[in-house]
Amino acid sequence: MLSYRHAFHAGNHADVLKHLVLVQLVRYLTQKDKPFWYVDTHAGAGAYALDSSYAQKLAEYEGGIGRLWARDDLPEALAEYVALVRRFNPSGSLKNYPGSPHFALWGMREQDRLRLFELHSKDARLLRECFADAGKRVIVEAVDGFAGLKAVLPPPPKRGLVLIDPSYELKSDYERVVQALKDALTRFAGGVYAIWYPQLTRIEANDLPQRLKRLPAKGWLHVALRVNAAAKDGFGMHGSGLVVLNPPWTLHDTLAEVMPYLVDVLGTDAGAGYTLERSED
């Protein structure tokens, strides 16, 4: 659990999908005047240098944000996401990639708050440094995100968005996600919960979306992006997805426009494709 560093994967196709959805969720929640909390259970380091040895080792960003960076035909929602990444790169060259908390904070207002959890000691320190000037709006805790989530629900304003995206390096993470959400929905039934998962040739990964759909939320939306066919040897991540519990009603139509484009631009072979479904279908 403590060995995972997102710096190796920053800006890849999974980040594109996750952050695209996150931007849309924050946009929806800010339409009402009442404040809300954003809770990130696995917040990472907060920012990533794409020219670092970590990012360059795999250069996964080249198959993600790198393929969108110079496009002039982006659908509106994707253009909004890429514009935020450009905000992190004032020189005009793609050198840095923001973590999830930045995408959330950029769309939030003065009355909204962020609670960020990161267990990895070095990443937690970097995360604090990233938001040192944010004052009381952002609180960073170097603790296990699942335990941290339990401690902050329900949030004081009774409105909130929770992002759960562990590394899933341990098989037990899949079960912990489900149990954490069962508890969270008991404490805070009306919250919006976005759960990221990897597409792997592993039973736990394949079963997770179905398990999340069965949780007692008012509704769900499931979106997944496959960039290539699963490897015959079963190694590697061929895509990723998110299940959003209590999703905004607008999210499905936005993703219906964007997902075919992402398949065309980020897909690498005939196995590329997407899934988009919701509870009322």
pLDDT in tens, the chain (281 residues): 444 567 788 999 999 999 999 999 999 999 999 999 999 999 999 999 998 887 788 789 999 999 999 999 999 999 999 999 999 999 999 999 999 999 999 999 999 999 999 999 999 999 999 999 999 999 999 999 999 999 999 999 999 999 999 999 889 999 999 999 999 999 999 999 999 999 999 999 999 999 999 999 999 999 999 999 998 777 789 999 999 999 999 999 999 999 999 999 999 999 999 999 999 85
Helices 145-152 and 172-187 cross at an angle (nearest 10°) of 0
- Global pTM reads 0.96
Q: Domain-by-domain residue ranges, the chain?
A: 6-278
Please state, in angstroms and rounded to a whole number, the distance separating the CA atoms of residues 203 and 182: 21
- What pLDDT is attached to residue 232? 78
Helices 13-29 and 76-87 cross at an angle (nearest 10°) of 100
- What pLDDT is attached to residue 2? 46
Domain 6-278 part of CATH 3.40.50.1820: no
Question: Which residues are known to be catalytic?
Answer: 165
- What pLDDT is attached to residue 1? 40
In this structure, the number of other CB atoms found within 10 A of the CB of residue 179 comes to: 11
Between β-strands 192-199 and 239-245, what pairing exists: parallel, antiparallel or unpaired? Answer: antiparallel
